[in-house]
Each structure stands twice: as C-alpha cells, then as structure tokens.
C-alpha cells in the first residue's frame, strides 16, 4: 500500500484564489503525477482541476467529465492532461474496462475526482488533495504526497 505524508495545508477565500493556488501548485508537478481529489459536492475539485490545467499550459475549457468519465486535454504547450470523474461509477465498477490504469500510467498529469471509487490498493497515486468547505465559505486544501514520487524531467 502506498504511504503518504503531509506536504502542505492552505486556506483560500474565493474561487479565484483557489484557482490561482492550483495554477501555482501545478508548476511543481513532475510528469507522471496522479492527483486524487477528495471533497464533497461543491468543495472545489473541478476548480482545482481547472487551475492545474491552466498552470500546465492548457488554454481550453476544463469541465468535470461527470457523464463522459474521462476528458483528455491535448496540450501542445506541455504535458498531456487527463481528467477523470468517477462520481457516477458504482463502487464495483470494472475500472480496468474503463481504462483508469491506462491514464494513470501515461507520461502526463492525471486528475481524478471522486477517487473513493478506486480500490484501496490502487497504486500510482502521487498526491492526495482533500478539500473542505469552511464556515465562511472559504476552502481548506490539505495536500499529501506519496513517499514514492516520479522524478522531474
């Protein structure tokens, strides 16, 4: 089982601030990073995804792939980006059939919303981001990193 350690904790006070934080955070991610985004509905997982894609050079629109499950963002400015939303999957879905492993092993950055649908033994996740909504509608972002990280090129 993969072990994680706390890397940082940050509080943001607006969607714009969350987006900017994610843009900056993206610039620290090496190729092969797989980010598991945890949080309730409306916590900001898609905002984080949008910021990370922007920070990695993607210029297009980023929406949660709730109904399509996967969006692959062609990124001529940098690494390929893969955005998975597992919300609509049943807990016993065949993730191999969907191709989750395929995206997690590509030479880019993979974002996974609702990673709770993955098996606890799933390997390859390099970062866990847990978002929570605070009383004043600000967000707390708790970041953990795997003890086995891909190296920066």
Q: Which domain holds residue 50?
A: 11-146
Q: Provide the phi-psi class of 132: left if phi over 0, else alpha when psi is between -120 and 50, else beta.
A: beta
In a domain, 3, yes or no: no
pLDDT class for 153, splitting at 50, 70, 90? Answer: very low
pLDDT tens sequence across 61-109: 898 877 678 888 888 778 889 998 888 877 666 666 677 777 777 788 9
0.95 exceeded by pTM: no
DSSP 67-124: TTSEEEE--TTSS-EEEEE-TTS-TT--HHHHTHHHHHTSSSEEEEESGGGS-TT---
The total domain count for the chain is 1
Q: Residue 144: is its pLDDT beyond 90? A: yes
User: Which CATH number fits the domain that encloses residue 87?
Assistant: 3.40.50.300
> What is the structure's pLDDT at 1?
62
Max Cα-Cα span within the chain: 41
Query: What are the Cα distances from residue 109, in Å, to 14, 72, 105, 153?
Result: 25, 10, 9, 13
Query: What are the Cα distances from residue 85, in Å, to 15, 64, 72, 136?
Result: 20, 7, 12, 27
> What is the structure's pLDDT at 65?
72
> What is the structure's pLDDT at 106?
76
């Amino acid at each position: 089982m993969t072990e994680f350690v706390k890397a940082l904790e940050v509080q943001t006070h607006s969607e714009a601030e969350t987006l900017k934080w994610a843009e900056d955070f993206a610039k620290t991610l090496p190729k092969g990073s797989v980010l598991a985004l945890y949080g309730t509905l409306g916590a900001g997982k898609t905002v984080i995804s949008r910021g990370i894609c922007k920070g990695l050079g993607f210029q297009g629109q980023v929406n949660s792939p709730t109904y399509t499950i996967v969006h692959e963002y062609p990124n001529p400015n940098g690494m390929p980006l893969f955005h998975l939303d597992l919300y609509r999957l049943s807990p016993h879905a065949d993730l191999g059939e969907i191709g989750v492993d395929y995206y997690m092993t590509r030479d880019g950055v993979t974002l996974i919303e609702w990673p709770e649908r993955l098996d606890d033994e799933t390997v390859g996740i390099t970062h866990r981001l847990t978002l929570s909504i605070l009383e004043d509608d600000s967000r707390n972002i708790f970041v953990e990193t795997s003890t086995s990280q891909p190296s920066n090129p």
